[in-house]
Amino acid sequence: VCLRDARHLNFDDSLIGAIKTSFCNGLVHFDGYPDLTISLTNTNILETLKINIKLHGYNILPGSEILAIIHYVHFKAMNSICPKSLENLTKEETIIIKCTTKDSNILIPNKIKWSEI
């Protein structure tokens, strides 16, 4: 199992972290803290974090599921982007910043409730 920044064309350069294990060992926990900053308008944003898993030795029926992946991505608001949008927030609110279109650098901060996330 490896966590990669797949924007790098060279596999070795793309590695953020890796772990080798066997499923007979039970659950595998993998924490990666890449301290990665990427713009919401980056055209390759969907290639930024990839999880690669290599399986071998399973002789089972096609369509069978042999593993489940549960992942979390944590992020934080940066004060350098729309700094005034972070003012006047209550405990129940946060800010989501939306990009208007793929080709635009216009960012629109929207105040939302934590219960909406």
- 99: phi then psi, degrees, rounded to nearest 5: -90, 135
Q: b vs e for 37-74, b when ≥16 Cβ sit within 10 Å of the residue's Cβ?
A: eeeeeeeeeeeebeeeeeeeeeeeeeeeeeeeeeeeee
Give me 37's structure tokens.
Answer: 């900053």
Can you give the residue ranges of every domain in the chain? 1-75, 81-117
Question: Residue 110 belongs to what H/E stretch?
Answer: strand 107-113
Could you give the CA distance from residue 113 to residue 96 in angstroms, rounded to a whole number?
Answer: 10
Predicted TM-score (pTM) of the model is: 0.55
Give residue-wise pLDDT tens across range 94-109: 777 776 666 666 777 7
pLDDT band with cut points at 50, 70 and 90 for residue 13: very high
